[in-house]
Structure formats: structure tokens, C-alpha cells
Chains A and B, each alone.
Chain A
Amino acid sequence: MRYLPLTDADRAAMLDVIGVPSIDDLFQDVPKSARLSDLVDLPKHQSEQAVERHMGKLSAKSVSAGSVPFFCGAGAYRHHIPATVDHLIQRSEFLTAYTPYQPEVSQGTLMSLFEFQSQVALLTGMDVANASMYDGSTACAEAVVMAHRVARGKKPKAVLAPGLHPHYAAATQTLASTLNIKIDERETRPGRDYNVVEHIDDDTACVVVQSPNVFGEIIDLRPIAEKAHAHKALLIAVFTEPVALAAITPPGEQGADIVVGEGQGLGVGLNFGGPHVGLFACTQKLVRQMPGRVCGETIDANGERGFVLTLSTREQHIRREKATSNICTNSGLCALAFTIHMTLLGEAGITRLAALNHEAACDLADRLEGIDGVELVNETFFNEFTLRLSKPANDVVDALAAKGILGGVPLTRIQPDGDESLLLVCATETNDVEDFAAFAAALKEVLS
């Protein structure tokens, strides 16, 4: 077995040192009834070549996004990732290191996390950010629990705006369900003004608003922040596309207290939904209530600047049942990918990338709007928008797939009781005019 360095001679010599006759003696504490004498019923070991061939065949059974005109968004976005990113995150020292518990030999991870936290804070317009969460949806759920904690459990209500990604709402509902948090949620439907403010009262711990929302509409958070703060509730702003924040007024400038979102769009591929990387930022005032790992600056015994994991008195390994969250692992390597991609882009690059995405979506919307049976629902959008179709969107998407086009996400895929005529469509810098033409032609055919 190529991964196991011990030889049979080694094993015999080692058993000798231990002073037991056989390997079975090392499993002596296992109850007899639970000891397996035979191999489990699974195939035996295989060569690298054989495994690679099997996996290659499986891979070929899916249609990859890069092989067709591709327009899916709704929480996961396809952007071009520079080769440098994937090369760097595969360096052994990053890839095969653990959580940086020993800072003297983990400065690589720690310093890049400090850069990550700084970039996330800047992009969201917030004071501080943590070292990442599993993904945007779990970050959203943790933010609601955090708001509940900030209110010391005295405010039971969390108001979710109807434009919140249904998976985010569901993940939040799951985590909140056991904690006496009352989720105030209404039917997911397109729009910009949901009268969210009318649902905020003194029982409200937080209000959760996504912008751009799941339909692509960009929301003015300021009036919501104002009403929330008047009732001592926190505004949790959510985003699913980090590139959008380079184009729109950041939530931190609109009164958000906590900002959570999905960072996958930068540095991390689609990966069929995971791993992705959750971004979590908040105001300085709330920093000690924040979940997850945090990296901070300090000095070493020589007075040199260095970085450590800090504020660990919030965390499960110290606080146990009183911890702010049970989170242990974050999404370290994806956070590194995000940071490297963002460093390559810089202000000039991210701004231009955002402009190109917006233009791509505008061009596509213009083309599709002209088709019979297609109506653009949005008043505003960044790089994704919602179409109302004359046929059920699910059937249309299947018909488009049969023509070799991945033409967006039907709302009912993520919201089973949603409006079946609605299709969520995304365009990024990876799409070109041929993609647009192919999509428009195919959609016209399918709807005719």
C-alpha cells in the first residue's frame, strides 16, 4: 500500500518494543462481540491509475459549467480564477497545515488570515471580520444566533426579509429552531421594498436583509437600519456574491451591525456547492460576541510583529457549553484562495471586474427581454436578475439543458412553493457574446 511506510519487519520490531505478541493485543479493549476478524465488504486497494480512471469516468458523467454556455447563480457564481491562486493554495505549507495553534510555526496561515480579515472588513465597510465560516448560509444562521445573544435572549424575534436566499433562511431556521428564536419569515417573492420595517418591533433582535437579494434586486438598507436601531435591533446584511460589493454601497455604510455573506465568488470554484467560504464582519462593539476564529496582531519575545489566534475565550475549547458557537474548523484554505485572488485584483481589478459583470448582465438582460414570453422582473440588478417566463421555468431550464445550455435556476428549485414562472439568471465576465446569442436563440425556441 503506497501510503503506508511501515514494513512487516518494522511492525514485528515495534510490537517487540511494545511487548505484545500481535497487533490484535492492541485492540484488547474492544468488546469481543465488536471485533471484526474479516475485511469489510468493500473493494480492495487500487493503484493510483485505476482510481484516477474510475473518478475520471464519474467526472465525465456531469456537464461542467465551463463546457457550455452557463448562466447559473443563486448563491454560487462562476468567475475566472487566476492560475496563481490554485498553485499557491496547493503549496504544502498551506495545504497540509492544521489550525494555527502554534503561532511561532504558523505565521504563514496567520498573516494571510489577518490580510483576509482586513480585506473582508474593507469590502463590507465594517470594523472587523473573523477568519471565515463554513459558508454564507451558516454564517447567516450564526449571525442570527449572535443577535439573539446580544439581546441576552430577551428579544425572541428575528425578521427575515422575503428576498433572503431560501437556503439561507432554511439554515437559519434549523439553527434557531432549538433556541427559542422566533423566525418571522414571509413568502419569498421579488421586489425591492417588502415593508420589512413594519415587522420590526421591540421584540425584534435582528432583521436579516440580503442585497443584492436572491432575485438580484439591490436594496436600500438605510431605512431598515434606522427602524431596527430605533427598536434596539441589529441589522444583519447578507450577500451571496462578493464581487457585487465592489459595485454597490457597502452595507457598513448603510448602518449594518453584522454583515455575512458567501465569499466563493472570489478564489473558490463552484465545487457543486462546497467547500465555499463564509464571510462574517461586524462592528467593533460586537466583536466579543462574534463566532468563529479570529486572528489578531501582537509581538513576539523579541518585540517583532506577529499574529496569533485571539479572543479564544469566546470559543468552545475554552468556554465549552458557554461558547459563542460550537464552531472549531472554519474554511481556512478557501479564505486563503479568496485573499490571494483579491490581492491579485486589488482595488483597480475588483472594481473593473465588478463593472464587467454588471455590463455582462445588462447586455444579457437586454437580449432576453426582447423575446416573446420573457419579462424582466427587476428594477435594479448587479450580475443576476429574474425573468418571468410564459412557461414553467423548471421545464424551460430542462429544455435548455437538452440543447446544451445551462440557462439559470428556476425559483422553485430553491423555493418549492415559489412562483414557477420565475427564472434566476446570472452573467459574469466568463460569458461572451456567443454565449448570449446561443442562450437567446435557445430560449426563443423553447418558449415558442
Chain B
Amino acid sequence: MNNQGRPTAPDAANTNTLAPKTHSGNQALNQAVQLIFEVGDLATTGIDLPQPKGTKSRLGDQARKGPIGLPGLSEPETMRHYVRLSQKNYAIDLGVYPLGSCTMKHNPRLNEKVARMPGFADVHPLQPIATVQGALELMSELSHWLMTLCNMPAVALTPKAGAHGELCGMMAIRARLDADGQTQRRRVLVPESAHGTNPATAVQCGFTVDEIPASGDGRVNLDALKARIDSNPDDVAGIMLTNPNTCGLFERDIIEIADAIHAAGGYFYCDGANFNALVGRVRPGDLGVDAMHINLHKTFSTPHGGGGPGSGPTVLSDALKDYAPVPYVVQTKEGYDLVENADDKSFGRMCAFHGQMGMYSRALTYMMSHGSDGLRQATEDAVLNANYVQASLSDVMTPAFGGVCMHEALFDDRFLKDTGVDTLDFAKAMIDEGYHPMTMYFPLVVHGAMLIEPTESESKQELDRFIGSMRHLAEKAKAGNVEMFKQAPVYAPMRRLDETQAARKPVLRWVEPEEVGVAAE
């Protein structure tokens, strides 16, 4: 068990499924795959390159002497290896992927086509400014869309992911505080339901974290928050608050929260991971937000790619905009220009070059395709779908809080009480039903949390099938079918994996069989 109470080792008995083992190890479309290190060799290559002429080396005394040890495969072998691997992945294009807080919406393929246009994809970040006007114009247009949707006066595009955007916002807050001589303000209030990135970011910016407990309705308790501020208003740097929060609920008192923080002399960082519940209906600038990152890979459909690349542009209020990182695009009489060097106020540079152009082009394509009307409709459909799932399951599962939700529905594990089935088992059984599990054991404020975010991309028919499966599983669990849950998944490419063993004796890379045991810690 880890510290979230989540089992990490398979407790299912090692039983064979109904299907006997095949000679090849394949199971029809589910092909056995070996690592490239087991099938490739040092002599094989899948790329034809000309023979070097043998020019005299100018590497000095640093020329490589030994082999690297990298196996190669021919092109058809490479293709087959990775196609086979791909078939062991679940994907949005395959089915419902209701990972709460992750916003697994459809990724339009026009975005991919646009991102590969040569004026965006095949442009060097340090070409003369006159030769990259189209790329800068795209960044400027994207900024306009983001600022308009947020009603905020500035946006820093460079952050490379959501957590990087958090860093951007908190760095800007710190820079402003320091500029005002408020260097004693180092306490950041973070609700306990926050994403783990929030406290981690605050600490990375040199702040201390003051955790605020949630109230019974899953929201920040305004009075408790005010008491926490009042305990020492002079050291308050700000608050990091997700809205809608990680329970999928809109923080009703958000304007009062913002006022209280501002009155104390602090700033309001909003975690924009759930901005997809607000686009076109609510503008963060109208809520008193000073900084908010936007996950282009959630809200604006750039693909998650199995874990990135992301992109986390961060909108900034008037109070913070002068402290934004470099670079940023400006418009001049001659066209677009890039400000690449920090002035006295800017907190500096967050990364090499100008951020995630490949994500900017995809996100802008998505936004222009939807338009103001489509973006609002997408938001409404996302919220509608989540509420439909919540309403359709509330009699067999246990919603964590009453009332309507925003873009995601949170359940706890009360409905599994005394069944012998836990949230993890339930999630694994969903895999056998053909669905990716919801987010589980998060947020931490709810026991055995199950956070379901269907997104606007699901049709009613698809949702009805999903709801049918969830109801079926809930009823099975209550009927005492524990073994089915403990065994699950049985139809996935693999049975449950032993995470405890992986962490105890980490094997993080390929080693030749005779070396096994040497590299393990």
C-alpha cells in the first residue's frame, strides 16, 4: 500500500484465464512484443545514409572510442514493433477515457495537419525576426484568444506544461512582492483538495504551504480561510486555488476569497486545469484572478501523447503583467517582434526559446474551429455530460457531494462498503468492460475517490453504454462478486502489475542478461 491507501501489488491469485497459452505467446491481435534490445543488433539500421568520406577529425582528443550499444531494426521491423506496442494502449480514439481532471477530449486531426505546416514546424527559433513573421503572428493571435476568453490583460505563452505555468504565475507573484519590498510574504494558502503540483510549485518558488481544510460541501470554507489569513495577514503571499475545484465544484465564494486575499495584500493564483468548464461562460478576470495557467493539452485539445508535451500559457492581471517572463511577442510598425531579454521587472526566462509552438498552432486551430459559439457550447456540453453521468449513477454509486457538478462528477467508495471491492478493483473491472478507468484516489479529501470527466466529446449513446457498464459493475459488487473484481482485468494485454516490486528493486533500463543484478540497487 502507498500513502494514499492504494494497493500497489496484485493480490489476485495467479490463475490462468480461460484461454490457454499459445505457442507464439500471441493472442490473436494481441501480439507478444520483445524489447528492441532483444530483437535488434548493432549492425542493423533502418536508414540508408551515404558512406562518410573519411575527413580528418576535428574532435580533438574527445573522439568516442568504444561502442554505444544501441540496437537497430530495419524499417519494416521498426514499424511492426511500434504498431504492436501501440495496440497495447488505451486511447481517446478507442473509447471513453473519463480521467477526471485530465480532460481527455477528442483531438481533431486538422490540428495535427496545421502543426506540421512548414511555417510552424520547420522554423528555427533563432532565425532572423523578419523570417518568422507568420509564427509570431500566430502567437499573437493565440494570445488574443486566450486573453479575451479570460478577460485578462496579459498572457505569458512560454510555460511548457501546466505545472510550468504554475511556476510562472507564482514566480510573477514573488517578483511583484519582492519589487514592493514585501519579502516577508512567503505563506501560500493551498486547499487540501489541490493538485499535488500546487504545493510542490509553491515550495519550488521558495514559499511555505499552509494547507486549508475543505468544508463539508467540498469547497473552501470562507470563514476558515479568513481566520487563516487573519492569523498573520502580513506574511500572506497568496492563495493557489483550482476553480472549478478538484471535486468538480465551482467555488461559490470565489469573489469573496479573492477579495480577502487582496485585502491582506496577497495575490490569487488560479489553477486553470479545469478551465474547460468555464470557457465562454465565465471569465477568470471577472473573478479577481491574478494569474492562471491554461493547459492547452486539456482545454484546447492538443494531444496528451502518453504524457506530454503539454503547454501552459499563463494569463496575468494588471498587477502582475510587468513581471512576466521573456520572451513575448510585441507588435511594431514593421510587424511582429520578440522581446527576448528580461528588463528589470521581468522575473526572467523559464526555458530556452519561445515555448511550445507546436501546441500553440494546434490550440489556435481548435479555438478558431469552434469559435465563440462553439467554445461556449463545448463548455455547456462538458458540464451537461458530467451531470448526466452523475444523475444516472447516483442511485447505485455514491456522489461525494450533493447538487450539480461542473465538468466532472466525483463519487466516493461508500457504495462499496462491506463488499470487499475497493476503488482500485472497481477501476480494473472497468478496463475489462472496455473503458479507461476514471481518476481514482484523487482528490484526497474524499475516501476512495472516483473522479469521472466524460468531456463534451462523448455522444449520449456512448454515455448510455458507459453508464450501463458502471451500473452493472456497481450491482455486481453489491451482489458479492468479489472474485471477478479481484481478478480484473482479465481481457487487457496484461494482468495487474506489481508496482511494489517495481519500486523496491528498480529496473529502469535494459541490461544484458548476464549483467542483470548488477545494475539493480
Contacts and interface: CB of A to CB of B under 8 A. Distances in A.
Contact of B431 (A94, A102, A179): A102
B42 A94 contact: no
A195 interface: no
Contact of B305 (A19, A67, A95): A95
Nearest to A70: B124
B369 interface: yes
B503 to A, nearest CB: 5
Contact of A274 (B132, B160, B251): B160
Interface stretch (B224-232, B415-423, B469-477, B490-498): B490-498
Contact of B361 (A55, A95, A293, A416): A55
A313 B506 CA distance: 13
A18 B388 contact: yes
Given A82-B75, A96-B91, 8 more contacts: A18-B387, A40-B149, A45-B374, A59-B134, A98-B306, A99-B306, A310-B499, A344-B78
Given A35-B281, A346-B46, A115 B36 contact: yes
B426 to A, nearest CB: 12
A114 B509 contact: yes
Interface stretch (A7-15, A202-210, A224-232): A7-15
A3 B37 contact: no
Contacts of B499: 103, 298, 308, 310
A98 B161 contact: no
A146 to B, nearest CB: 12
Nearest to B186: A178
Nearest to B192: A320
A274 B353 contact: yes
A interface, size bucket: 35 or more
Contacts of A320: 196, 199-200, 209
B498 A60 contact: no
Contact of B350 (A118, A145, A174, A350): A174
Contacts of B164: 134, 138
B90 A274 contact: no
Interface string B1-41: 01110000010111010000000000000000101110011
Label chain B's interface by main secondary structure: loop
B266 interface: no
A31 B252 contact: yes
B372 A39 contact: yes
Contacts of A131: 307
25 contacts: A5-B460, A27-B383, A30-B281, A34-B286, A35-B282, A42-B149, A45-B369, A55-B117, A62-B120, A75-B126, A82-B46, A93-B90, A115-B510, A122-B69, A134-B308, A171-B349, A218-B62, A271-B120, A274-B359, A287-B508, A298-B498, A316-B196, A323-B203, A329-B161, A353-B47
Contact of A346 (B40, B311, B383, B496): B40
Given A115-B510, A274-B356, A300-B498, A65 B124 contact: yes
B68 A58 contact: no
Interface in A320-377: 320-323, 325-334, 336, 340, 342-353, 355-356, 358-359, 361-363, 365
B459 A51 contact: no
A168 B351 CA distance: 7
A352 B52 contact: yes
B479 interface: no
A98 B69 contact: no
- Chain B interface size, as a band, is 35 or more
B321 interface: no
B133 interface: yes
A29 interface: yes
Closest 3 CB pairs of A and B: A346-B72, A273-B353, A333-B305
Contacts of A220: 61-62
A20 B374 CA distance: 22
A448 interface: no
B446 interface: no
Nearest to B326: A170
A270 B122 CA distance: 6
B121 A270 contact: yes
A362 B56 contact: yes
A111 B196 contact: no
B196 to A, nearest CB: 4
Given A122-B70, A178-B204, A296 B508 contact: yes
